[in-house]
Amino acid sequence: MCKEACDGEIARLYGPGERGNGSLYDLILDYPLRGGKALRPALSIATCLGLGGHLEAVLPTAATLELYHNAFLIHDDIEDESWWRRGKPTLHIDHGVPIAINVGDAMLSLSLQPLLDNVERVGLGPALRILRAVAKMTRLTVDGQALELDWVRSNSWRLNDADYLKMVELKTSWYTFITPLQAGAIAAGAGPERMEPLESFGRHLGAAFQITDDLLNLRGDPQEYGKEIGGDLWEGKRTLMLLYTLRHAEPKDQDRAIAILAKRRPSPDGEELTDLLDRLAAQGELSQSGRAELVARLQSHQPSECKSISDIRWLFELMLDVGALRHARDVAATHARQAAAVLATLDWFPHSRHRDVLADLVDYVHGRTR
For the chain, domains (ranges, CATH) are 2-266+306-367 (1.10.600.10)
What are the residues facing 88 on neighbouring strands? 85
Confirm if 32 and 67 have CB atoms less than 8 A apart.
Answer: yes
Q: How far is CA 202 from CA 139, 176, 178, in A?
A: 17, 8, 5
pLDDT at 275: 62
Length of the chain: 370
The list of the chain residues with pLDDT below 50 reads 220-227, 268-271, 302
pLDDT value, residue 300: 59
Total-model pTM:
0.83
How far is Cα 115 from Cα 107, in angstroms, rounded to an integer?
Answer: 13
pLDDT at position 21 is: 55
Residue 273 has a pLDDT of 59
Nearest to 115 by CA among 70, 177, 38, 60: 60
CA–CA separation, 322 vs 203, rounded Å? 28
